[in-house]
């Protein structure tokens, strides 16, 4: 399962259309709306976490673009400080996407950045504060 947090900006001509619902129906994607500001006949903004296969995710993002929606990645990222990490595994218990896991038999915590949805649960779970939030430059897909 692939997931990312996206920032969507809807032109005022598109706010009345069910484009996000179409992501679920037509592209078999699951979404979680984290924040939204949408008014009739005005530009709308929505932050959502989108889940699905990579192929469906890419097709869904292209669909959004085709509808005139501006799509950006979230403006923050999670980074692990490998010097601080003690490989205790506390972060793996709270990671909803499996981005953090324990490699056996080494009992080493592995961070798969591509699976990370920037939910920030690992940041608070880490007793040595090895997981950090860092700002990143927003980029369009």
Determine the pLDDT at residue 5.
82
Residues 64 and 91 occupy one common structural domain: no
Q: Is residue 140 part of a domain?
A: no
Judge whether residue 78 has pLDDT over 70.
Answer: yes
Can you tell me which residue has the tokens 């947090």?
5
Q: Is 139 exposed, middle or buried (0-12, 13-18, 19+ CB in 10 A)?
A: exposed
In which domain, by residue range, is 119 found? 78-134
Question: In this predicted model, what pLDDT tens digit does every residue of 25-49 receive, in sequence order?
Answer: 999 999 988 778 877 778 888 888 8
- The residue ranking higher by pLDDT, 62 or 138, is 62
Can you tell me which residue has the tokens 């509808």?
67
Residues 37 and 88 occupy one common structural domain: no
Residues 128 and 83 occupy one common structural domain: yes
Q: Return the CATH number at 43.
A: 3.30.70.260
Count of structural domains, the chain: 2
User: Per-residue confidence at 136, pLDDT binned at 50, 70, 90?
Assistant: low
Residue 35: partners with Cβ closer than 8 Å, 6 or more residues away: 45, 46, 47
| pTM to 2 decimal places | 0.54
The whole-chain average pLDDT of the chain stands at: 86
Q: Is residue 139 part of a domain?
A: no
Q: Is residue 98 part of a domain?
A: yes
How confident is the model over 97-104, as a mean pLDDT? 93
Helix, strand counts (H, E) of the chain: 4, 8
Residues 66 and 105 occupy one common structural domain: no
Among 58, 73, 88, the domain boundary falls at 73
How confident is the model over 54-82, as a mean pLDDT? 89
């Amino acid at each position: 399962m692939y997931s990312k947090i996206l920032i969507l900006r809807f032109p005022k001509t598109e706010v009345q259309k069910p484009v996000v619902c179409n992501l679920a129906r037509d592209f078999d994607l699951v979404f979680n709306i984290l924040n939204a500001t949408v008014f009739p006949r005005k530009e709308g903004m929505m932050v959502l976490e989108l889940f699905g296969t990579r192929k469906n995710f890419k097709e869904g993002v292209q669909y959004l673009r085709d509808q005139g929606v501006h799509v950006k990645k979230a403006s923050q990222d999670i980074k692990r400080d490998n010097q601080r990490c003690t490989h205790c595994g506390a972060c793996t218990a709270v990671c909803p996407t499996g981005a953090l896991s324990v490699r056996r038999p080494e009992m080493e915590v592995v961070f798969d950045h591509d699976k990370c949805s920037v939910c920030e649960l690992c940041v608070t779970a880490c007793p040595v504060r090895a997981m950090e939030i860092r700002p990143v430059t927003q980029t369009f897909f």
